[in-house]
């Protein structure tokens, strides 16, 4: 998490498991605040290739 005044950035890597297999995704979320209220959320997400540990 990066606190940049009125903006906060959160960078995450997660693995999701389901009945059809699993996926690893990376996401970056930007939260914009004004007077302690969220005014905008921008999210970027990409699926990552499986690692050898996942095979």
Residue 48: predicted pLDDT: 92
pLDDT in tens, the chain (55 residues): 776 778 899 999 999 899 988 999 999 999 999 988 999 999 999 999 877 545 4
Q: What is the pTM of this model?
A: 0.67
- Separation CA 13–CA 15 (nearest Å): 7
The domain segmentation of the chain, as residue ranges, is: 2-49
Instruction: Provide CATH code, domain 2-49.
Output: 3.10.450.50
- Separation CA 41–CA 28 (nearest Å): 11
Residue 54: predicted pLDDT: 53
């Amino acid at each position: 998490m990066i606190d940049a005044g009125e903006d906060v950035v959160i960078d995450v890597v997660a693995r999701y498991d389901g009945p059809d297999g699993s996926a690893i995704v990376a996401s970056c979320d930007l939260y914009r605040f004004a007077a302690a209220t969220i005014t905008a959320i921008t999210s970027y997400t990409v699926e990552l290739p499986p690692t050898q540990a996942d095979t």
